[in-house]
Structure 1
Amino acid sequence: MNNNNVNMGYVIFLSLVAALGGFLFGYDTAVVSGTNQQVAKLFGLDEMQLGWYVGCALVGSIGGVSVAGILGDMFGRKRTMLFSAILFSLSAIGCAVSTDFTMLIVSRIFVGVGIGIVSIISPLYISEVAVAKYRGSLVSLYQFGVTVGMVGAYLVNHLLLNLAESGMATITDPASVSLFEKVFYTESWRGMLGMCAVPSVIFFIVIFFIPESPRWLILKRRDDSAQHILQRIYGSIQEAVSQLESTRQMVISEDSSKSGQWAYLFKPAIFKMVLIGSAIAILGQFMGVNAVLYYGPTIFEQSGLSGGDSLFYQVLVGLVNMITTIIALFIIDKVGRKKLVYWGVSGMILALLLIAFYFHNGEAMGISSIFLLVSFMFYIFCCAISICAVVFVLLSEMFPIRVRGLAMSIAGFSLWIGTYLIGQLTPWMLKNLTPEGTFLLFAAMCIPYMFIMWKLIPETTGRSLEEIEKMISE
């Protein structure tokens, strides 16, 4: 391949549009961290009900990820992303105007379905329009979008909390507040959740400016349309024809088995990779990252910080997550997927042990909460530069095109099962296992993840999707 002719500006544009789905993912998963205490107080929630408030979106995500691959394979990557944008918009509005806890839960389930869909389709789309040399960095733009969305959520939470505190002074009759005052002053959690409507509408609009995935078009025998898009990506008709022919031959080879999609998925070599992908997806959730992102302010408050300071600390954690993801964008295709995981997960184990030590003995030793903040930031740095950057890249490139959407949905289903369990159980674990025991458990779960990455997953850096498929199918 002649990379000098590649229209990288166009490829980056396509990737950034799809990565907006990651932004919405990040915002809607992180925004609940600033609303937990307000919602719990307003509706009188106990620990399990609070876990349900956080976890209900994850239930929706499980549903979304279950159908994402089927929708993406049936209707195309582009139209499936459009559908998710509609779900995000409806959910944001529904949360802002919820009249009771049930309506709030239903709205959060809607956003969960959207999150589940984009968690599969956005990185899949980027992977299928990217060139092999830069695929890791381009797919990591999705994870970068997730981290930017998280920082955006933390900042919105922090700013709206301050706005609410100042705005409350202007309210003379709490019984007759306007909708604006209710959303941004007296019940600012509504504004925190509702602000997602803005990027959701933007996402919906810009999707109309990108083409369908050329590899999906080839799979659907629409070669002329695929060649036109490939020619714009690779800058020459010769390279476009070469890429088209390579993908078409792989599709023909898969079709020669004359087996259905599910039967092909259960071929030993393919099914093995599905199990491995599912294993790293679910284990990654039990290493603690989402517990930190969902319940960070609550954890910081347990260390003695005020609500405002804990939200500010969470903003700092989110900024580290975003900045580290930028670093990962530039090194993932140079260092390699596996080496990043080895170094990053080793650092995560150390950070988790330091956090457990702080909760075990920090107060008695007079250790400042700054120690906890630094430990959290080090943990997020190690996590963002390794498993967070690598997992969606690997899942988007380790399955054959014929079952790529379906296989990613299965692996994604495992990921969201793990995420739901962490979201639901973290309040219980913090109370019954104590913060110390909770973070020791997260550290222990890093060990099997490292073993699987070492023994069972091949290095895919620098290989085309078709080369990876041949390597895995052998």
Structure 2
Amino acid sequence: MDRSRGAAHTSEATRGGELTGAVVVVALVSAVSGLLYGYDTGIISGALLQIGEDFDIGNGWEQVIAASILAGAVVGALTCSRLSERRGRRGTLLVVAVVFVVGTLGAAFAPNPELLSLARVVLGFAVGGATQTAPTYVAELSPTAYRGRLVLCFQIAIGVGILVATIVGASEAVDWRVSIGAAAVPAAVMLVLMLRLPESPRWLLKADREDDARTSLERVRPGGADVDAELAEIGGLVHEESRSSTRGWRGWREGWVRPAVVVGCGLAVFTQLSGIEMIVYYSPTILTDNGFPDSTALRVSVALGATYLLAQLVGLAIIDRVGRRRLTLITLPGAALAMVVLGTFFVTGHSGKAQVPWIIATLVVFMAFTAGGIQLMGWLTGSEIYPLAVRSAGAAAQSAALWGTNLLITLTLLSVIDTIGTGQTFWLYAAFNIAAFVFLFKRMPELTGHSLEDIEGRLHEGRFRPRDFAPKG
């Protein structure tokens, strides 16, 4: 590969580009898709209490219903990776928006648990496709000066979606069919907005459609702006990628790429093994099964959703100053300790009414540590840790690893609790957090302050251990 990367240097035009209304709409579409991801995965937490009664089902079916969206997400992430390369980012997001509407309405009108699960698989396809495509679409249309903030709209919107879902669930006045079906409205909004947006200029250049790429870029830049420099920069990157022998999924065979794959996919797995999905999906079920009133359990969900969003906002505000690696390693011990304390409450029999405030406080502490730490890294690293020519395939594999682990946990969690007990399950997840700390301490370098070109260069030179990345800033 050409290591000079002359064309990769950010042009003055893109660095100082103005934020236009069209780019704001692009970011809004991404935010809506993130909102749908958070809402559709979070709403099942409270809805399961009603669904279990309506369909007269036990923990086994509840696990299947909760996990079915994740099975679809694995397929969606992998499928939409290829689809976005062949048909474009915009075309893929149009498909995702339609599937969001269809899956949401199918789930809302499902007459039995079988069809409800099937509809949530369809919905999951849209969730996985959105997480794979929306951030990339925003990144490829945004001016460099605003790119990070606009891409992170997706991450923040996930937290907003989870919080809204927990508030709706806690109201207990909204039927589960209505609460699930309500997501069709933002999905329809996303579809309408996408119809008015341009295709990614980077994808158009890859498809040898230079005139269309120019038109697309002019639509999202200030009127009269000279886009020649930015087009030349994008064209240089596309040309370099086309000449590279390390491309797409085949590029994973290269030994020098493997350390990035190990760190990226390992991090994705540990974001789920942290226990976050156990709390988001099943906290009401776990609490009610241990004697908590439904109303208390649902209010706890709201507190956890609010904590998730606030912790994400704080984490995003400090991550570039503290550092990705450092923030993750600081917060993981706190999450592990919170899980140990939670497990101790239940194992020792101190889970009655008198301990309710302490149990809730510990849950909130856990959520703060994990949402403000390792949960920020799952999607972030996929956009920066892989070499340019395999970035799309790497991000897809990392998404699939994340969703696959999530699926396994969601399918088995209630059965694990039935087998070994609630407290012991919390201890198990404490052990996972400790394992995550050890793995990331040994393998995850500090990427903060390093350009994408610098990261790729060190990877290519075989210098991808933490000691090879000196702190910057």
Do they superpose with TM above 0.5? yes
* Contact in 1 for aligned 2:267/2:377 (Cα 8 Å): no
- Distance, in Å, in 2 between the alignment partners of 1:232 and 1:344 is 42
1:55-77 deviation line (CA, Å, top 9, x unaligned): 11111112112212111111111
1:117-146 deviation line (CA, Å, top 9, x unaligned): 112112222343455666554433212111
* Contact in 1 for aligned 2:70/2:403 (Cα 8 Å): yes
1:350 pairs, out of 333, 337, 347, with 337
Please tell me the residue identity of whatever aligns with 2:117.
I
| 1:110 aligned residue | 122
| 2:297 aligned residue | 310
Please tell me the residue identity of whatever aligns with 2:412.
L
- Distance, in Å, in 1 between the alignment partners of 2:267 and 2:450 is 21
Please tell me the residue identity of whatever aligns with 1:61.
A
| 2:269 aligned residue | 282
Match runs of 1:41-440 below 5 Å: 41-130=53-142, 135-159=147-171, 161-163=172-174, 188-227=175-214, 241-258=228-245, 261-361=248-348, 363=350, 367-440=354-427
Q: Are 1:450 and 2:437 counterparts?
A: yes
* Contact in 2 for aligned 1:140/1:389 (Cα 8 Å): no
Q: Secondary structure at the match of 1:285?
A: helix
Question: 1:111: Cα distance to partner?
Answer: 0.5
2:48 pairs, out of 36, 40, 43, with 36
* Contact in 1 for aligned 2:20/2:220 (Cα 8 Å): no
1:5 pairs, out of 16, 25, 46, with 16
* Contact in 2 for aligned 1:96/1:194 (Cα 8 Å): yes
- Distance, in Å, in 1 between the alignment partners of 2:222 and 2:145 is 15
Structure 1's 337 and 151: CA in aligned 2 closer, same or farther, altered over 3 A? same
Structure 1's 336 and 8: CA in aligned 2 closer, same or farther, altered over 3 A? farther
* Contact in 2 for aligned 1:7/1:233 (Cα 8 Å): no
Please tell me the residue identity of whatever aligns with 1:379.
F
Please tell me the residue identity of whatever aligns with 1:35.
A
Structure 1's 326 and 87: CA in aligned 2 closer, same or farther, altered over 3 A? same
* Contact in 2 for aligned 1:69/1:121 (Cα 8 Å): yes
Please tell me the residue identity of whatever aligns with 1:404.
R
Question: 1:227: Cα distance to partner?
Answer: 4.9
Give the aligned CA root-mean-square deviation in angstroms.
Answer: 2.7
Identical aligned residues as a percent? 27
1:17 pairs, out of 29, 36, 51, with 29
* Contact in 2 for aligned 1:297/1:310 (Cα 8 Å): yes
Question: 1:346: Cα distance to partner?
Answer: 2.2
Q: TM-score, normalised by structure 2?
A: 0.86
1:189-231 deviation line (CA, Å, top 9, x unaligned): 2112111111111111122343333333333334444455556
* Contact in 2 for aligned 1:136/1:333 (Cα 8 Å): no
* Contact in 1 for aligned 2:205/2:235 (Cα 8 Å): yes
Please tell me the residue identity of whatever aligns with 1:307.
D
Structure 1's 400 and 413: CA in aligned 2 closer, same or farther, altered over 3 A? same
- Distance, in Å, in 2 between the alignment partners of 1:332 and 1:207 is 31
* Contact in 1 for aligned 2:20/2:221 (Cα 8 Å): no
* Contact in 2 for aligned 1:140/1:392 (Cα 8 Å): no
Q: Which moved more, 1:57-66 or 1:444-453?
A: 444-453
- Distance, in Å, in 2 between the alignment partners of 1:70 and 1:191 is 34
Please tell me the residue identity of whatever aligns with 2:137.
Y
Structure with more relative contact order (C-alpha pairs < 8 Å, separation 6 or more): 1
Question: 1:388: Cα distance to partner?
Answer: 1.7
- Distance, in Å, in 1 between the alignment partners of 2:454 and 2:203 is 17
Q: Secondary structure at the match of 2:348?
A: helix
* Contact in 1 for aligned 2:110/2:116 (Cα 8 Å): yes
User: Which consecutive residues of structure 1, in runs of 5 or more, have no partner in the other structure?
Assistant: 164-187
- Distance, in Å, in 1 between the alignment partners of 2:311 and 2:349 is 27
Structure 1's 373 and 8: CA in aligned 2 closer, same or farther, altered over 3 A? farther
* Contact in 2 for aligned 1:269/1:473 (Cα 8 Å): yes
- Distance, in Å, in 1 between the alignment partners of 2:150 and 2:408 is 30
Question: 1:253: Cα distance to partner?
Answer: 3.2
- How many residues are aligned here? 449
Structure 1's 208 and 65: CA in aligned 2 closer, same or farther, altered over 3 A? same
- Distance, in Å, in 1 between the alignment partners of 2:436 and 2:385 is 17
Structure 1's 248 and 450: CA in aligned 2 closer, same or farther, altered over 3 A? farther
* Contact in 2 for aligned 1:247/1:466 (Cα 8 Å): no
Q: Are 1:26 and 2:38 counterparts?
A: yes
Q: TM-score, normalised by structure 1?
A: 0.86
Please tell me the residue identity of whatever aligns with 2:130.
V
- Distance, in Å, in 2 between the alignment partners of 1:329 and 1:422 is 27
- Distance, in Å, in 2 between the alignment partners of 1:460 and 1:281 is 16
Q: Secondary structure at the match of 1:368?
A: helix
- Distance, in Å, in 1 between the alignment partners of 2:94 and 2:104 is 16
* Contact in 2 for aligned 1:137/1:330 (Cα 8 Å): no
- Distance, in Å, in 1 between the alignment partners of 2:452 and 2:141 is 11
* Contact in 2 for aligned 1:129/1:214 (Cα 8 Å): yes
